Amino acid sequence: MRFPSPILTWPPHLPRLYPQLNAAQISQFLDYAEYQRLCNVPLITILPFASHNSRTEDMHLGLGLSKLMIRDLMLVRNLSTRGPEDSPESLLESVALLREEKDRTIFVSGEAFTANGTYRVELQFFAPARKDPYAAVVHESDFATFQLRLAETIARTCLGELTDATRQMWRFGRPSSAAAVARLGAICADENRREASRGRLAWELYQREPNFVVALNELDDELPNIKPVYLEGLRRDPYNAQLCFLLFLAYWESRGPQPEAVQFCRRAIELAPGHGKAHMCAPHAADKSVNMLLHSDLGYRLLPGNTFAINNYILNLMESNAPPEQIMVLAEEGIRTDPNDPGNYDRMIEVFIDLKDYARALSIAERLQKLFEPQMNERTLECLMQNPKRAEKIRSGQYHAAEELRGLIQQLREKLGM
Protein backbone atom coordinates (compact mmCIF):
# COMPACT_ATOMS: atom_id res chain seq x y z
CA MET A 1 0.00 0.00 0.00
CA ARG A 2 1.33 3.44 -0.92
CA PHE A 3 0.71 6.27 1.49
CA PRO A 4 0.12 9.89 0.49
CA SER A 5 3.12 12.16 0.65
CA PRO A 6 3.30 14.39 3.73
CA ILE A 7 2.69 18.10 3.33
CA LEU A 8 6.13 19.70 3.22
CA THR A 9 7.04 23.35 3.50
CA TRP A 10 8.84 24.67 0.46
CA PRO A 11 11.76 26.97 1.37
CA PRO A 12 10.93 30.61 0.69
CA HIS A 13 12.48 32.17 -2.40
CA LEU A 14 13.47 28.75 -3.81
CA PRO A 15 12.16 28.28 -7.36
CA ARG A 16 10.02 25.26 -8.18
CA LEU A 17 11.51 23.65 -11.26
CA TYR A 18 8.38 21.49 -11.63
CA PRO A 19 5.47 23.58 -10.31
CA GLN A 20 2.91 21.26 -11.90
CA LEU A 21 4.15 18.19 -9.95
CA ASN A 22 3.52 17.15 -6.36
CA ALA A 23 6.22 15.84 -4.04
CA ALA A 24 5.89 12.22 -5.13
CA GLN A 25 5.73 13.05 -8.84
CA ILE A 26 8.98 15.02 -8.64
CA SER A 27 10.76 11.77 -7.73
CA GLN A 28 9.16 9.77 -10.56
CA PHE A 29 11.30 10.29 -13.63
CA LEU A 30 13.09 7.08 -14.61
CA ASP A 31 11.40 4.30 -16.54
CA TYR A 32 12.83 0.84 -17.07
CA ALA A 33 13.63 1.38 -20.76
CA GLU A 34 15.77 4.41 -19.93
CA TYR A 35 17.44 2.49 -17.10
CA GLN A 36 18.37 -0.31 -19.50
CA ARG A 37 19.73 2.18 -22.03
CA LEU A 38 21.96 3.78 -19.41
CA CYS A 39 23.35 0.53 -18.01
CA ASN A 40 25.96 0.18 -20.75
CA VAL A 41 26.75 3.71 -21.90
CA PRO A 42 30.47 4.52 -22.25
CA LEU A 43 32.10 5.93 -19.13
CA ILE A 44 34.25 9.00 -19.77
CA THR A 45 36.86 10.65 -17.54
CA ILE A 46 38.34 13.89 -18.85
CA LEU A 47 41.81 14.72 -17.57
CA PRO A 48 43.82 17.95 -17.96
CA PHE A 49 45.15 18.49 -21.45
CA ALA A 50 48.71 18.87 -20.22
CA SER A 51 51.93 16.95 -19.60
CA HIS A 52 54.93 17.49 -17.38
CA ASN A 53 56.65 19.06 -20.38
CA SER A 54 53.92 21.65 -20.99
CA ARG A 55 54.77 25.32 -20.68
CA THR A 56 53.06 26.90 -17.68
CA GLU A 57 50.62 28.89 -19.82
CA ASP A 58 49.74 25.80 -21.88
CA MET A 59 49.28 23.71 -18.74
CA HIS A 60 46.89 26.28 -17.28
CA LEU A 61 44.89 26.44 -20.50
CA GLY A 62 44.76 22.63 -20.71
CA LEU A 63 43.56 22.26 -17.13
CA GLY A 64 40.91 24.96 -17.53
CA LEU A 65 39.71 23.45 -20.81
CA SER A 66 39.27 20.05 -19.16
CA LYS A 67 36.89 21.62 -16.62
CA LEU A 68 34.86 23.22 -19.41
CA MET A 69 34.78 19.99 -21.43
CA ILE A 70 33.43 18.05 -18.43
CA ARG A 71 30.50 20.48 -18.38
CA ASP A 72 29.90 20.06 -22.11
CA LEU A 73 30.39 16.30 -22.42
CA MET A 74 27.95 15.65 -19.57
CA LEU A 75 25.23 16.87 -21.94
CA VAL A 76 25.86 14.10 -24.50
CA ARG A 77 22.98 11.79 -23.71
CA ASN A 78 24.56 8.44 -24.52
CA LEU A 79 27.76 9.05 -22.52
CA SER A 80 28.39 9.13 -18.78
CA THR A 81 31.03 11.75 -18.01
CA ARG A 82 32.52 11.86 -14.53
CA GLY A 83 32.04 15.09 -12.61
CA PRO A 84 34.96 17.39 -11.78
CA GLU A 85 35.15 16.08 -8.20
CA ASP A 86 35.80 12.57 -9.56
CA SER A 87 38.12 13.56 -12.41
CA PRO A 88 41.77 13.48 -11.28
CA GLU A 89 43.92 16.48 -12.12
CA SER A 90 46.55 14.03 -13.36
CA LEU A 91 48.78 14.85 -16.29
CA LEU A 92 49.22 12.82 -19.45
CA GLU A 93 52.06 10.70 -18.09
CA SER A 94 49.85 9.38 -15.25
CA VAL A 95 47.04 7.90 -17.35
CA ALA A 96 48.54 4.40 -17.26
CA LEU A 97 48.26 4.37 -13.45
CA LEU A 98 44.61 5.44 -13.54
CA ARG A 99 43.58 2.76 -16.03
CA GLU A 100 44.39 -0.19 -13.79
CA GLU A 101 41.16 -0.19 -11.81
CA LYS A 102 38.66 1.29 -14.25
CA ASP A 103 38.38 -1.17 -17.10
CA ARG A 104 35.20 0.37 -18.57
CA THR A 105 36.41 3.94 -18.53
CA ILE A 106 37.68 5.89 -21.53
CA PHE A 107 40.27 8.39 -20.31
CA VAL A 108 40.57 11.54 -22.40
CA SER A 109 43.89 13.33 -22.06
CA GLY A 110 46.38 15.13 -24.25
CA GLU A 111 48.22 18.45 -24.47
CA ALA A 112 47.05 22.01 -25.15
CA PHE A 113 49.11 24.62 -26.97
CA THR A 114 48.57 28.29 -27.65
CA ALA A 115 50.76 30.45 -29.89
CA ASN A 116 50.38 33.24 -32.44
CA GLY A 117 46.67 33.64 -31.71
CA THR A 118 45.80 29.99 -32.36
CA TYR A 119 44.67 27.20 -30.07
CA ARG A 120 45.45 23.50 -30.41
CA VAL A 121 44.81 20.37 -28.39
CA GLU A 122 46.48 17.10 -29.29
CA LEU A 123 44.01 14.64 -27.81
CA GLN A 124 44.70 11.09 -26.68
CA PHE A 125 41.91 8.60 -25.92
CA PHE A 126 42.77 5.64 -23.71
CA ALA A 127 40.01 3.08 -24.28
CA PRO A 128 39.73 -0.26 -22.47
CA ALA A 129 39.81 -2.31 -25.69
CA ARG A 130 42.91 -0.61 -27.11
CA LYS A 131 46.52 -1.11 -26.06
CA ASP A 132 47.61 2.17 -27.62
CA PRO A 133 45.71 5.47 -27.39
CA TYR A 134 43.74 6.90 -30.27
CA ALA A 135 44.87 10.40 -31.28
CA ALA A 136 43.03 13.43 -32.65
CA VAL A 137 43.96 17.09 -33.10
CA VAL A 138 41.78 20.20 -32.81
CA HIS A 139 43.33 23.44 -34.10
CA GLU A 140 41.50 26.77 -34.51
CA SER A 141 42.22 30.48 -34.41
CA ASP A 142 38.79 31.54 -33.08
CA PHE A 143 38.42 30.51 -29.44
CA ALA A 144 34.63 30.09 -29.53
CA THR A 145 34.90 27.82 -32.57
CA PHE A 146 37.78 25.99 -30.89
CA GLN A 147 35.64 25.12 -27.84
CA LEU A 148 32.86 23.77 -30.02
CA ARG A 149 35.21 21.71 -32.18
CA LEU A 150 36.98 20.31 -29.12
CA ALA A 151 33.72 19.15 -27.54
CA GLU A 152 32.51 17.67 -30.85
CA THR A 153 35.76 15.79 -31.40
CA ILE A 154 35.77 14.27 -27.92
CA ALA A 155 32.10 13.30 -28.18
CA ARG A 156 32.38 11.73 -31.62
CA THR A 157 35.55 9.81 -30.78
CA CYS A 158 33.80 8.35 -27.73
CA LEU A 159 30.81 7.43 -29.98
CA GLY A 160 28.65 10.14 -28.50
CA GLU A 161 25.47 11.08 -30.35
CA LEU A 162 25.43 14.80 -31.14
CA THR A 163 22.24 16.74 -31.80
CA ASP A 164 21.43 20.34 -32.57
CA ALA A 165 19.98 20.59 -29.06
CA THR A 166 23.32 19.52 -27.56
CA ARG A 167 25.22 22.09 -29.61
CA GLN A 168 22.76 24.77 -28.52
CA MET A 169 23.35 23.93 -24.85
CA TRP A 170 27.09 24.25 -25.48
CA ARG A 171 26.59 27.94 -26.27
CA PHE A 172 25.76 28.71 -22.64
CA GLY A 173 28.22 29.07 -19.78
CA ARG A 174 30.96 30.38 -22.05
CA PRO A 175 34.08 32.25 -20.92
CA SER A 176 34.79 35.56 -22.60
CA SER A 177 38.30 34.53 -23.63
CA ALA A 178 41.00 31.88 -23.49
CA ALA A 179 42.60 33.94 -20.72
CA ALA A 180 39.61 33.27 -18.45
CA VAL A 181 39.91 29.52 -19.04
CA ALA A 182 43.64 29.66 -18.35
CA ARG A 183 42.95 31.62 -15.16
CA LEU A 184 40.68 28.84 -13.92
CA GLY A 185 43.39 26.33 -14.77
CA ALA A 186 45.97 28.37 -12.85
CA ILE A 187 43.71 28.43 -9.79
CA CYS A 188 43.30 24.67 -9.92
CA ALA A 189 46.97 23.97 -10.65
CA ASP A 190 48.51 25.81 -7.72
CA GLU A 191 48.81 23.08 -5.08
CA ASN A 192 50.50 25.42 -2.60
CA ARG A 193 47.33 27.41 -1.95
CA ARG A 194 44.97 26.49 0.85
CA GLU A 195 41.60 25.08 -0.25
CA ALA A 196 39.83 28.21 0.98
CA SER A 197 42.06 30.33 -1.24
CA ARG A 198 41.19 28.20 -4.27
CA GLY A 199 37.54 28.88 -3.60
CA ARG A 200 38.13 32.60 -3.04
CA LEU A 201 40.10 32.95 -6.26
CA ALA A 202 37.45 31.02 -8.18
CA TRP A 203 34.82 33.36 -6.74
CA GLU A 204 36.81 36.36 -7.90
CA LEU A 205 37.07 34.85 -11.37
CA TYR A 206 33.32 34.23 -11.47
CA GLN A 207 32.61 37.83 -10.48
CA ARG A 208 34.72 39.00 -13.43
CA GLU A 209 33.31 36.28 -15.71
CA PRO A 210 29.69 35.77 -14.54
CA ASN A 211 28.77 33.62 -17.53
CA PHE A 212 31.69 31.26 -16.92
CA VAL A 213 29.66 29.26 -14.42
CA VAL A 214 32.10 26.32 -14.41
CA ALA A 215 34.22 28.40 -12.01
CA LEU A 216 31.57 27.81 -9.31
CA ASN A 217 32.59 24.14 -9.17
CA GLU A 218 35.68 25.24 -7.26
CA LEU A 219 33.78 27.02 -4.47
CA ASP A 220 33.43 25.44 -1.07
CA ASP A 221 29.79 24.38 -0.68
CA GLU A 222 29.98 25.28 3.02
CA LEU A 223 30.69 28.93 2.33
CA PRO A 224 28.01 31.29 3.67
CA ASN A 225 25.18 32.13 1.28
CA ILE A 226 26.27 29.58 -1.31
CA LYS A 227 22.68 28.74 -2.29
CA PRO A 228 21.82 32.08 -3.96
CA VAL A 229 25.20 32.00 -5.72
CA TYR A 230 24.43 28.59 -7.21
CA LEU A 231 20.88 29.65 -8.13
CA GLU A 232 22.18 32.72 -9.94
CA GLY A 233 24.72 30.52 -11.71
CA LEU A 234 21.93 28.21 -12.87
CA ARG A 235 19.98 31.19 -14.18
CA ARG A 236 23.00 32.16 -16.29
CA ASP A 237 23.76 28.59 -17.38
CA PRO A 238 20.50 26.60 -17.20
CA TYR A 239 22.16 23.60 -18.88
CA ASN A 240 24.86 23.06 -16.27
CA ALA A 241 24.07 19.57 -14.96
CA GLN A 242 26.88 19.62 -12.41
CA LEU A 243 25.60 22.86 -10.92
CA CYS A 244 22.18 21.24 -10.53
CA PHE A 245 23.89 18.49 -8.56
CA LEU A 246 25.71 21.05 -6.40
CA LEU A 247 22.35 22.67 -5.66
CA PHE A 248 21.06 19.30 -4.50
CA LEU A 249 24.00 19.02 -2.11
CA ALA A 250 23.43 22.58 -0.88
CA TYR A 251 19.77 21.91 -0.02
CA TRP A 252 19.98 18.28 1.12
CA GLU A 253 19.79 18.00 4.91
CA SER A 254 19.51 14.20 5.33
CA ARG A 255 16.10 14.46 6.95
CA GLY A 256 14.01 12.25 4.72
CA PRO A 257 11.96 13.38 1.72
CA GLN A 258 12.98 16.78 0.38
CA PRO A 259 11.30 17.54 -2.94
CA GLU A 260 13.00 20.93 -2.98
CA ALA A 261 16.35 19.10 -3.08
CA VAL A 262 15.49 16.11 -5.27
CA GLN A 263 14.17 18.45 -7.99
CA PHE A 264 17.78 19.40 -8.69
CA CYS A 265 18.84 15.75 -9.07
CA ARG A 266 15.96 15.32 -11.49
CA ARG A 267 17.01 18.33 -13.54
CA ALA A 268 20.65 17.16 -13.55
CA ILE A 269 19.58 13.76 -14.90
CA GLU A 270 17.25 15.26 -17.48
CA LEU A 271 20.17 17.31 -18.78
CA ALA A 272 22.80 14.58 -18.32
CA PRO A 273 21.14 11.14 -18.15
CA GLY A 274 24.49 9.51 -17.35
CA HIS A 275 25.19 11.71 -14.30
CA GLY A 276 26.15 8.95 -11.88
CA LYS A 277 26.31 11.12 -8.76
CA ALA A 278 22.79 12.48 -9.34
CA HIS A 279 21.45 8.93 -9.72
CA MET A 280 23.34 7.87 -6.62
CA CYS A 281 22.02 10.71 -4.46
CA ALA A 282 18.44 11.12 -5.72
CA PRO A 283 17.15 8.33 -3.40
CA HIS A 284 18.44 10.27 -0.35
CA ALA A 285 15.72 12.90 -0.67
CA ALA A 286 13.07 11.10 -2.75
CA ASP A 287 9.48 10.62 -1.71
CA LYS A 288 9.08 7.40 0.30
CA SER A 289 6.29 6.18 -1.96
CA VAL A 290 8.64 6.02 -4.97
CA ASN A 291 10.93 3.04 -5.55
CA MET A 292 14.36 4.53 -6.33
CA LEU A 293 16.28 1.25 -6.62
CA LEU A 294 17.01 1.72 -10.34
CA HIS A 295 18.68 5.06 -9.58
CA SER A 296 21.00 3.57 -6.96
CA ASP A 297 21.68 0.66 -9.32
CA LEU A 298 22.78 3.16 -11.98
CA GLY A 299 24.89 5.03 -9.44
CA TYR A 300 26.73 1.77 -8.80
CA ARG A 301 27.13 0.99 -12.52
CA LEU A 302 28.14 4.48 -13.64
CA LEU A 303 30.59 5.11 -10.78
CA PRO A 304 32.83 2.03 -10.65
CA GLY A 305 35.13 2.08 -7.66
CA ASN A 306 33.01 4.61 -5.75
CA THR A 307 32.36 3.17 -2.28
CA PHE A 308 29.57 5.67 -1.57
CA ALA A 309 27.76 4.38 -4.66
CA ILE A 310 28.20 0.80 -3.44
CA ASN A 311 26.95 1.69 0.03
CA ASN A 312 23.93 3.58 -1.28
CA TYR A 313 23.06 0.71 -3.62
CA ILE A 314 23.21 -1.71 -0.69
CA LEU A 315 20.92 0.49 1.41
CA ASN A 316 18.30 0.51 -1.34
CA LEU A 317 18.68 -3.24 -1.88
CA MET A 318 18.11 -3.80 1.83
CA GLU A 319 14.94 -1.72 1.68
CA SER A 320 13.85 -3.91 -1.25
CA ASN A 321 14.51 -7.11 0.76
CA ALA A 322 17.32 -8.29 -1.50
CA PRO A 323 18.97 -11.59 -0.50
CA PRO A 324 21.75 -11.25 2.10
CA GLU A 325 24.22 -12.97 -0.20
CA GLN A 326 23.91 -10.19 -2.80
CA ILE A 327 24.39 -7.52 -0.16
CA MET A 328 27.44 -9.18 1.36
CA VAL A 329 29.14 -9.54 -2.03
CA LEU A 330 28.66 -5.83 -2.67
CA ALA A 331 29.79 -4.85 0.83
CA GLU A 332 32.96 -6.92 0.44
CA GLU A 333 33.60 -5.17 -2.88
CA GLY A 334 33.23 -1.82 -1.15
CA ILE A 335 35.65 -2.74 1.61
CA ARG A 336 38.22 -4.00 -0.90
CA THR A 337 37.84 -0.81 -2.94
CA ASP A 338 38.32 1.52 0.04
CA PRO A 339 39.23 -0.21 3.33
CA ASN A 340 38.99 3.11 5.18
CA ASP A 341 35.34 3.88 4.25
CA PRO A 342 33.24 2.71 7.23
CA GLY A 343 29.93 2.53 5.35
CA ASN A 344 30.28 -0.94 3.89
CA TYR A 345 31.52 -2.37 7.20
CA ASP A 346 28.26 -1.07 8.67
CA ARG A 347 26.24 -2.79 5.96
CA MET A 348 27.94 -6.15 6.58
CA ILE A 349 27.41 -5.86 10.32
CA GLU A 350 23.70 -5.16 9.76
CA VAL A 351 23.33 -8.20 7.49
CA PHE A 352 25.07 -10.55 9.93
CA ILE A 353 22.95 -9.25 12.82
CA ASP A 354 19.79 -9.83 10.78
CA LEU A 355 21.04 -13.38 10.14
CA LYS A 356 21.78 -13.73 13.88
CA ASP A 357 25.37 -14.52 12.94
CA TYR A 358 26.74 -12.49 15.83
CA ALA A 359 30.25 -13.95 15.62
CA ARG A 360 30.80 -12.66 12.09
CA ALA A 361 29.13 -9.35 12.94
CA LEU A 362 31.57 -8.99 15.85
CA SER A 363 34.53 -9.82 13.62
CA ILE A 364 33.57 -7.04 11.17
CA ALA A 365 32.88 -4.58 14.00
CA GLU A 366 36.32 -5.20 15.48
CA ARG A 367 37.89 -4.56 12.06
CA LEU A 368 35.93 -1.32 11.85
CA GLN A 369 37.05 -0.32 15.33
CA LYS A 370 40.64 -0.09 14.08
CA LEU A 371 39.56 2.78 11.81
CA PHE A 372 38.12 4.67 14.79
CA GLU A 373 40.63 4.02 17.57
CA PRO A 374 43.05 4.93 19.03
CA GLN A 375 42.87 7.78 16.49
CA MET A 376 40.33 8.08 13.72
CA ASN A 377 41.65 7.55 10.21
CA GLU A 378 41.46 10.80 8.19
CA ARG A 379 39.71 9.14 5.26
CA THR A 380 37.23 7.51 7.66
CA LEU A 381 36.32 10.90 9.12
CA GLU A 382 35.97 12.34 5.62
CA CYS A 383 33.50 9.58 4.76
CA LEU A 384 31.49 10.09 7.95
CA MET A 385 31.21 13.81 7.18
CA GLN A 386 29.52 13.19 3.81
CA ASN A 387 26.12 12.97 5.51
CA PRO A 388 25.17 16.55 6.47
CA LYS A 389 23.10 15.58 9.51
CA ARG A 390 25.84 13.36 10.90
CA ALA A 391 28.48 15.96 10.04
CA GLU A 392 26.63 18.53 12.13
CA LYS A 393 26.40 16.09 15.05
CA ILE A 394 30.12 15.34 14.81
CA ARG A 395 30.98 19.05 14.80
CA SER A 396 28.68 19.72 17.77
CA GLY A 397 29.96 16.74 19.77
CA GLN A 398 26.58 14.93 19.74
CA TYR A 399 27.91 11.95 17.77
CA HIS A 400 30.94 9.85 18.70
CA ALA A 401 31.47 7.03 16.22
CA ALA A 402 34.06 5.19 18.32
CA GLU A 403 31.88 5.31 21.44
CA GLU A 404 28.83 4.06 19.54
CA LEU A 405 30.81 1.21 18.01
CA ARG A 406 32.22 0.20 21.39
CA GLY A 407 28.65 -0.14 22.65
CA LEU A 408 27.71 -2.34 19.68
CA ILE A 409 30.77 -4.54 20.17
CA GLN A 410 29.84 -5.02 23.83
CA GLN A 411 26.28 -6.01 22.87
CA LEU A 412 27.56 -8.56 20.35
CA ARG A 413 29.98 -10.03 22.88
CA GLU A 414 27.15 -10.39 25.38
CA LYS A 415 25.03 -12.24 22.81
CA LEU A 416 27.96 -14.61 22.29
CA GLY A 417 28.39 -15.10 26.05
CA MET A 418 31.82 -13.46 26.03
CA 143, CA 347: separation in Å to the nearest integer? 50
Which domain-ending residue is among 163, 193, 223? 193
Same domain for 170 and 49: yes
Instruction: Say if 360 falls within a structural domain.
Output: yes
In a domain, 391, yes or no: yes
Boundary of a domain, candidates 154, 175, 193: 193
pTM: 0.89
pLDDT tens sequence for the chain (418 residues): 344 444 457 888 899 999 999 999 999 999 999 999 999 999 999 999 999 999 999 999 999 999 999 999 999 999 999 999 999 999 999 887 777 655 789 999 999 999 988 999 999 999 887 788 899 999 999 999 999 999 999 999 999 999 999 999 999 999 999 999 999 999 999 765 655 588 889 999 999 999 999 999 998 765 778 999 999 999 999 999 999 999 999 999 888 899 999 999 999 999 999 999 999 999 999 999 999 999 999 999 999 989 999 999 999 999 888 998 999 999 999 999 899 999 999 998 998 998 899 999 999 999 999 999 888 999 999 999 888 888 888 888 888 888 999 999 999 998 888 7
How many Å apart are CA 74 and CA 169, to the nearest integer?
Answer: 11
Say if 289 falls within a structural domain: no
| Within a domain: 153 | yes
Whether 265 is in a domain gets the answer no
Counting the structural domains of the chain, the total is 2
Range of the domain at 328: 305-415
Task: Write down which residue in 178, 193, 208 finishes a domain.
Answer: 193
HSE, side-chain direction, 13 A CA sphere, residue 3: 5
